[in-house]
Structure 1
């Protein structure tokens, strides 16, 4: 979590993602009162969820257990998040981004009632061999 007084960014990868002001208040408040910060190794940690070892984040299984303790069904929440993303992104793109097999995301998309039938997977940065643009004509 990065905050410079004006903007709040959450680094889940590169580049860091901006967090809208209304939502940013939640992680900023949490960040100000995080647990596991009393050890000498973690006092200046920038991790939103610091782990027990210096400079390391909390383990996914530990975070999953904490969410379960407050009543959030992790597997169901993850499934719901993926299904929502499939309504906004083509299944092959989401599969690649999350490391899923494209058949899995395609199945989830069908189960969710979504359709990306007009999406053509592949490299769209190159023109097909033999393709040439049509000349513009005044008509």
Structure 2
């Protein structure tokens, strides 16, 4: 899955109301925040918090502010889970409940739910991590997404190398392109055999040599070309 396909799938999950809200939220957590199904299945309602009108999710040590469409899905899922807890009179804090009361959904079941959405788990996570800003410190990435620091360092270096390779490729393409033919309409004054002065435009080629046209005066262009 390349970056374009990742964003196409993310937009579908954001706007497709025919899909279950919890499936849409789980898919977006993988596509946008590189969360494994095991990490998603362990989320609780307490990982979602609202302060100052902003909705944040705590994936690591530092909470992440969710954009409005994702925040709406997250807040909806919290409300559903809390209502089920009250109606069922059970103390279940899990954001994604499983088949057994009081138990979260298993990592395998969460992975199957995401696969049914057309998401390839490993490819989607790799693309999400490679799309992280190359100038973002690995420590910040690890604390924000809740991933291991060694994984963050590896992907931060990979992202920086990709950007450097892209910049070098663009620079190479630009420098290898031949200069555009430019026409400098420089008029030089020449005296005709009859004594009249005339001006003729002078063209400069990409090699820098002026092209003055046929050298044999008095002959039309076609005649000149036939004699050659």
Stretches of structure 2 that go unaligned for 5 or more consecutive residues are 1-47, 166-228
Asked if the contact 1:87/1:114 (under 8 Å) is kept, the reply is no
Match of 1:30 in 2: 77
Pick from 64, 68, 76 the counterpart of residue 21 of structure 1.
68
C-alpha distance 47-74 of structure 1, shift in aligned 2 (>3 A)? same
C-alpha distance 60-105 of structure 1, shift in aligned 2 (>3 A)? farther
Q: 1:109-128 counterparts in 2 under 5 A? A: 109-110=160-161, 112-114=162-164
Asked if the contact 1:87/1:109 (under 8 Å) is kept, the reply is yes
Aligned-partner SS, 2:97: coil
TM-score (structure 1 length as normaliser): 0.52
C-alpha distance 6-27 of structure 1, shift in aligned 2 (>3 A)? same
Q: Which has the higher helix share?
A: 2
Match of 1:106 in 2: 157
Residue 80 (structure 1) aligned with residue 127 (structure 2)? yes
Match of 1:124 in 2: none
Stretches of structure 1 that go unaligned for 5 or more consecutive residues are 116-139
Pick from 95, 106, 109 the counterpart of residue 59 of structure 1.
106
Q: Which has the higher strand share?
A: 2
TM-superposed CA distance for 1:49, in Å, is: 1.7
Match of 1:45 in 2: 92
Which structure is larger by alpha-carbon Rg, 1 or 2? 2
TM-superposed CA distance for 1:26, in Å, is: 1.6
TM-score (structure 2 length as normaliser): 0.36
What RMSD in Å do the two structures reach over aligned CA positions? 3.8
Asked if the contact 1:49/1:58 (under 8 Å) is kept, the reply is yes
Match of 2:57 in 1: 10
